[in-house]
Structure formats: C-alpha cells, structure tokens
Chain A
Amino acid sequence: MALVLNDEQRMVKDSADGFFAEHAPVSQLRKLRDSKDPDGFDRGLWAKMAEMGFAGVAIPEQFGGAGLGMVAAGLIQEAIGRNLTISPFLSSAILSATAIARGGTEEQKAALLPKMASAELIVALAADEAARHQPNQVATKAEASGNGFKLTGAKPFVLDGHVADKLIVAARTSGADTDVAGITLFLVDPKAAGVSVKRRWMVDSRNAAEVTLDGVQVDGADMLGGLGEGFAILEAALDAGRACLAAEMLGVSAQSFDVTVDYLKQREQFGVKIGSFQALQHRAAHLFCEVELARSVTLKALTALDAGDERAPFFVALAKAKAGDVCKLATNEAVQMHGGIGMTDEYDIGFYMKRARAAAETFGDGAFHGDRLALMLNY
C-alpha cells in the first residue's frame, strides 16, 4: 500500500479540515472550560459530526456507518488535533465502536452501532486500572451470579465516562491480575444499581470519569465477545484508539508548529524579527523534520490497520511512541519560542501543550510502546 492519500481520503481531509476550523475552533474549548459546561462538550457539534458521517466513519455501512476506515478516521482526528476540538469521537466512535464491531454479536451490533453513528448513543470504554497504562492489569472481578455476573472493581480513567449512555467494562472472569487470558468485556448501563460515576476534570479541559462497580448485576447476554477472551478485542480497540491519538497528536504538533513559525516572523526584539536568529531557525527546522516523521509513522499505522496487516500492532506502537514524543517536543518548543506570552492563559498555545501531555499519556506513552516494540522485535 502506497503511503499517500487516495482521492476519497483527500475529500475526507478537505471536509474535516474545513468543518472543524469553522465549527469547533479553540475558542469553543475555552468556552466549554470557562463555563464549566455540564457535559464538557457541545452536543450540537456532536450531532453535526454525525451528519457529516464523522461519528460513523469507522462503523461498517450495514450498521449505519460510513465504513471509510482508519485512514479516514485519522484524518478527522488530525483536524480535531489542529483545533483542539472536544467530542466523544475517540471514546465512542473509535474505541467503543471498534470493540463492538470486533467482538459484538449481530444483535449487539444492530442495537448499538447505528445509534452510535447517529450520535444518539455514547459508549465509553472502561478498561484501564493502572495510572500508567497496562491493559492486561484487570483486577475488577466478574463473578458468576444468577444467569449472569456480578461486577466489582474500580476504573479510574474512563474517557467521557461522565456522559456515557453505556460502558464497556473489562473484568476478570479467571486468572491472576495481570494475565491476558481470563479478561471478559461486558456492556454495562451506567444507571444500573451499584455503578457510581464521578466526573474528573483534566488538565486538557477534557473529561474522564472514575467509575466504581459494587456488585453490579449484568446479564449473560451483556457479554461482549467470548468468556475470558476479551483481551484481543480490547487490544484491537486500543490500537485503533492509539493510531487515532497519534493522528490527533500529529494535528496538535503541526498546528502549534505553524502558529510558532508565524510568531517567529512577527515578534520583534533587538530591533529585528526573532525568526532571523539562527538559534531559533535551527530548532524550528529540526522540528519541521520531526513533524514529517510523525506524519509518516501515523499514516503507516492507519494504513496497516485498514489493510488488516498482521504487523499493524507494530506500526501502531511505533506511531503512538513517535507522534507522542514529537508532540511533546513541538508544544514545549512552541511555548518556549513564544516566550512570556506563551505562559499566559489568554494565549491558546498553552492549550496545545496540555493536550499533548494528556494524549501522549493516554493508552501508553513512548516508554510503554517502546517496550512493546522491543518485545515484538524479540529483545
């Protein structure tokens, strides 16, 4: 597969770039934050994203989606990154939709996916338990009870969990706390007895929830995928999410880089534009190269996922690690080159640095994915 966008993908890119710049610029994030919006995102925007086909981009056509695949999803999330748009795109349209499409029965897919594509239903993934991402660490217990299970445990980092209509919970049906086998996924109603959802405001003005499960009764029919076989589904969902996060971080990197280069051409000190200083020119030129590398690895990961390439997890790990490192560098350099104004809340560039940190940490940072890569290469 060539590492270049085809015509259909270029159209998605053009429409996503235009849409988010017009309907969801950084000023919207600022407004949501300053008003302490009860939802933390704009439901009107999310409905528009569904109309555009974005919410169903990764959902197959027979279940009401656009079925455009991961390269298209990545292009949308890259535009999201450029504009720091807040929406349940990652949590519901990518992570949860992938898990359901991969692990769900025909009934589950028919019941959930069309509503997710039309933005009527938000589904959040409740998987992580460790503060540093380790998806096989699942201590939440699912014990046989009646014709189903009773779930007990805590999920401290459920993206968009505070607005979710449904949760996908990873729980342990057998094995020790870090075993890959014995993890089972369940569809859980957040309003069910024993579920408590506590909203967490985060540094990047996005929201997660701390979800606790205290003997929550679920039906056997609420199992997503086979008993004890949830990890493969979870990994597929996480890899889709990680690749899209790499795309978002590419957008964050590219936008903060562009804004910074513009600033270097405007700001004057010592009677000249600061962009004429070689110390800054070389750092900017280096950053240009790094952003290009991040673009290549991201496109490769998304392309490999679409192609069903067996090496896709390798390229996803590569993309998440590299794009994360580049994003942190790009946004830190952006603040430094903006000088004092870069430290002010009034100026947008700080938002980019906050998002970079959060996106890099989410679902594995450079150290996590570097280790994963090395193990895939047998060292």
Chain B
Amino acid sequence: MDETPELAAFRAETRAWLEANCPEEMRQPVTGDSDVCWGGRKWKFKSEAQKLWLDRMAARGWTVPEWPKAYGGGGLSKDEAKILAAEMRRIKARPPLSSFGIWMLGPALLKYGNEAQKLEHLPRIARGEVRWCQGYSEPGAGSDLAALRTSAILDGDEFVVNGQKVWTSYADRADWIFCLVRTDPAAPKHLGISFLLFDMESPGVTTSPIKLISGYSPFCQTFFDNVRVPKANLVGEPGKGWDIAKYLLTHEREMIGGMDMGSTGRDSMHQMAKKAIGTSKSGKLKDGLLRADIVRHEINAYAFGLTMERVKDEAKAGQGVGALSSMLKYYGTELNKERQELLMSIGGSDSLTWEGEDKRDGDPARTWLRSRANSIEGGTSEVQLNIIAKRVLQLPGA
C-alpha cells in the first residue's frame, strides 16, 4: 500500500501503544448497551478496565482523535485517525467513550461556538466528564421541527426558558442539554430559533422517562419552568439556531445511519444463522429461502458500507454528492430495520423471550423493537426522501 514513511511510523507507534494500554477486557465484543461507556457526572463504571481505558485514551486525546489538542482532542489528521481506527479494529478494541457530546454537540461547537464555549465544554466532553442530551423535538414539533415553541425570553443577563421537549434521549442521565428555543416569536418560524446550552440541574428542569414498546425508556419528556440560563450560553447568533440545528442533524443522521453497520466484534448475520440453523452437506444454510433473504440483505449491507467508504474518500478529495447525510440516514436505518427483522427470523421462537434469569434474555426482541425507531428519529425516512428530492433532484414543489 502507498503509506508514507510518516504514516507508517504513526501506525507502528499506535499499534505498540494500543497493545500496551488497551486492557484485555476492553477487547471483548460489545454484547449490548450495558458494555458501552457513556461517561458523565452520574456515570458508574462497569469495571476498573472501563475506567482505565477511558482515562488512558482521553489523556492522549484519542476519545476525539480529530479535534484540536487545545480542546482535549488528539489533533490527528484524517489519515492518522483512519489508522487509529483500523488499529483499534485490529485488536477489537471497544470505543473508550460514546456520547452525544462527541457525535453531535462537539462538531457544532467547533464550527459555531466562541472560544470560551469551546474551552469550557469540549475538553469535558473529550474526558467523558459531562454527558449531554439533545432538546429538539416537542409534542407539536416532530417532523416539522421548526414549529417548536419552547420560549427563551431575555431578562437582564439571563434567558428565561419555558416549554416542553419530548424524545430527549437519556435526559434523565444527562448533565447538560443543548436545546433549540424560540427567542423571537414574531420572526418567521425558521428565523426565530436559537441554540442554547444549560445545566440539567438548573432549577425548573424536570424529566420523566417514556416507556417504549421495547420496554426500555431511553427517551424522556423534559419540562422547563422558568429556567434561568446565562446569556453567554447562547451559541452563535440569536435567531440563527436553525442553521446550527441543521448542521448538527447531519451529524446525527450519519451517526444513526451508520449504527450497527460494520460494527466491530459482532458476529455477522450469516454466522449467527449458521449457528442457529446449520448447514447441509453442500455447505449452504439449510433454509434456502431464508438464505436468499440473508444474501440479499448482506449484498445491500456491503454496498452501503462501501458507499460510506467512498463518500469519505471523495470528501477527502474535495468531491462529493449532495444531501449525503439524508441518503446515509435513510438507507442505513432501513437496512438496520431489515437486519433486525432477519435476526428475529433466524432466532425463531428463541428470539421471542421477553424476560428471564439472565439480564440479556430479552435482548433480541427488545433490540428489534428499538430499531423500529431508527427510521423515525432524527428525521423520518420520508423526510429524508423529501430532502433528497428537493436538494439533489430539485423536483418541483419538493
């Protein structure tokens, strides 16, 4: 391969460092959400190894490899970050930290935040000290997000926030919220919105979990009753929050679209099918029709994975397709839903268990049910298709 001497040296150093510093326990496959490290003030580490792995990676800035060093990142180039990811995959290392701060708020702050905001928030995200949640949807503002009504009225040096958010992921476990609020009720609906950060422990904030069809409660309703927020916590200009929201949504969409695709340390679907169903003498899966369904799915999954790879390479070369995040979000989530349907079929009656002695007993059914939300959250599949029709195809009236 055409790796420069500098990159080859970086690869060698990285490999040696990971080998010496990634605890054995953190090289085991992630079997469920309980193995993921989310961080935050309320976080209880599942093991000594989980804490050690986070601390060691954060000290190098490698929880956020491409962020600048001044903000707690690793300052790596795209090529170096690719090598780090590849080397982590090689030893099946788990991500040291997963968070909305890394995936969503961080990129938005890097682009729109002022220096004080970056210095205050980014290092704490990088070290896993503060867990963030996203205050976007409201009971009356789902697909039509810009119809949101939560208000923030300036009173001296503070905004006074009143309203209600819904589908706030993990609001009950989050420390801070990045929130879309209406600061100018008189302006056209997209132009009166601002982007505000505040502590979830502020007086007047309450949350209540929503129980879902999966039996889990990853989402909350969040209520704001005269919450006072310093004026300095406004990101960007007042009334320009929609631009930040859209920018951030593209990151969210790419994240949701990429979920479960090419995840490390998971058995691929056909391996699970072979274990569950067995193969005939010819080496083919015993159930021919299910085999065909799995093949069709895996063809699309590979094609999607290669598309993710291609668009990254094209972006690096300064090329690219429009409305990319909508395409990835739409296709990736529909694929994941299909994957979960097939996994349920592969498991047969085994996959129907809801509760049992082992805490993982209900996982297949609950994961399947959870995945139904993929094509709803972060903009429905239909909204993504609308965006492609409008921005890329430029169809009339779209």
**Chain A residues at the B interface, C-beta cutoff of 8 Å:** 1-4, 261, 264-265, 272-273, 275-276, 278, 280-282, 284-286, 288-289, 292-297, 299-300, 318, 321-322, 325, 366-367, 370-371, 373-375, 377-379
Contacts and interface: CB of A to CB of B under 8 A. Distances in A.
Interface stretch (B68-76, B117-125, B234-242, B307-315): B307-315
A373 B389 contact: no
A296 B279 contact: no
A2 B316 contact: yes
B299 to A, nearest CB: 5
Q: Is the interface of A mostly helix, strand, loop or mixed?
A: helix
Contact of B310 (A4, A367, A374): A4
A285 B385 contact: yes
Interface of B: 1, 268, 270-271, 273-274, 279, 283-285, 291-292, 294-296, 298-300, 302-304, 306-307, 309-310, 313-314, 316-317, 319, 321, 327, 330-331, 382, 384-386, 388-389, 392-398
B395 A294 contact: no
Residue picked from A278, A299, A374, most chain B C-beta under 10 Å: A374
B134 to A, nearest CB: 26
Contacts of B300: 293, 322
B2 to A, nearest CB: 8
A297 B306 contact: yes
List the 7 closest pairs (A to B, CB-CB), nearest first: A276-B397, A285-B388, A281-B389, A3-B310, A285-B385, A370-B295, A296-B307
Contacts, number: 134
B397 A379 contact: no
B299 A321 contact: yes
B299 A373 contact: yes
A273 B304 contact: no
B302 A318 contact: yes
30 contacts: A1-B1, A3-B309, A4-B314, A261-B395, A265-B395, A275-B397, A275-B398, A276-B398, A281-B386, A281-B393, A282-B382, A282-B386, A284-B393, A285-B384, A285-B389, A285-B392, A286-B330, A286-B385, A289-B327, A292-B307, A294-B303, A296-B303, A296-B307, A296-B310, A318-B302, A318-B303, A374-B295, A377-B270, A378-B274, A379-B285
A198 to B, nearest CB: 36
Nearest to B296: A370
A278 B153 CA distance: 38
B273 to A, nearest CB: 7
A201 to B, nearest CB: 33
B306 A370 contact: no
A374 B396 contact: no
B3 to A, nearest CB: 12
A6 B290 CA distance: 41
Contacts of A299: 310
Nearest to B398: A281
Interface centre among A264, A289, A300 (most CB of B within 10 A): A289
A110 B388 CA distance: 52
A280 B296 CA distance: 25
Contacts of B330: 285-286, 289
Contacts of A371: 295
A288 B394 CA distance: 12
A293 B307 contact: yes
Contacts of B395: 261, 264-265, 275-276, 280-281, 284
Contacts of A300: 306, 310
A276 B389 CA distance: 10
B182 to A, nearest CB: 28
B392 A378 contact: no
B398 A3 contact: no
Given A377-B268, A379-B273, 6 more contacts: A2-B313, A4-B316, A261-B395, A275-B395, A289-B388, A318-B302
B277 to A, nearest CB: 9
A378 to B, nearest CB: 6
Contact of B396 (A3, A276, A282, A321): A276
A374 B382 CA distance: 32
Contact of A293 (B294, B304, B393, B394): B304
A99 B96 CA distance: 50
Contacts of B310: 3-4, 295-296, 299-300
Contacts of B389: 281-282, 284-285
Contacts of B382: 282
Contacts of A321: 299
Contacts of A297: 302-303, 306
A286 to B, nearest CB: 7
A299 B273 CA distance: 30
